[in-house]
Amino acid sequence: MSQHETSPYGPWHGTTILTIRKGGKVVIAGDGQVSLGQTVIKSTARKVRTLAKGGVIAGFAGSTADAFTLFERLEKKLEQYPTQLTRACVELAKDWRTDRYLRRLEAMMLVADKEASLVLTGTGDVLEPEGGVMGIGSGGNYALAAARALIDTDMDAETIARRAMKIAADICVYTNHNVVVEMLDSAT
């Protein structure tokens, strides 16, 4: 049995990734902890990055090698469908679901450009977060709850993301306080 089959968190139990869309900005934040079982292997991993020459931001939860494969595939789809994030993600999700190699990848992604924020899963889902807020990974629900509680305050998207990530890191043992934030101007 693989490690994720015995985990109560499923295959995406080693991180927290959060996206917030508010006040003309879109943010994706991720912690830096990489865990193997109950051992912290690295505390400064970068799970959030820019794609498409800085026009798209993305964060992943899951196996690092699998996530980098998905980043590469998404980058290629964005080259095929420039400025069409949703179309590129739908095409990636189709490949992810039907390709024998990709089907085995264990990761989830949050991606955003100036117009859309999306969640991608290996089951073929491409979903737009409700209210512009979404969290994935083991601490994702903690960060999501905190962000939803803060979204109607006068805080900006980055401040909300940093506060929500701190709350998640205080609760989830697979999430640390080493947070990377990428931000874009948003159409909304």
83 flagged as catalytic:
no
SS3 for the chain is: CCHHHHCCCCCCCCCEEEEEEECCEEEEEECCCEEECCEEEECCCCCEEEEHHHCEEEEEEECHHHHHHHHHHHHHHHHHCCCCHHHHHHHHHHHHHHCCCHHHCCEEEEEECCCCEEEECCCCCEECCHHHEEEEECCHHHHHHHHHHHCCCCCCHHHHHHHHHHHHHHHCCCCCCCCEEEEEECCC
Which residue among the candidates 15, 16, 19, 175 is catalytic per the annotation?
Answer: 15
Active site residues: 15
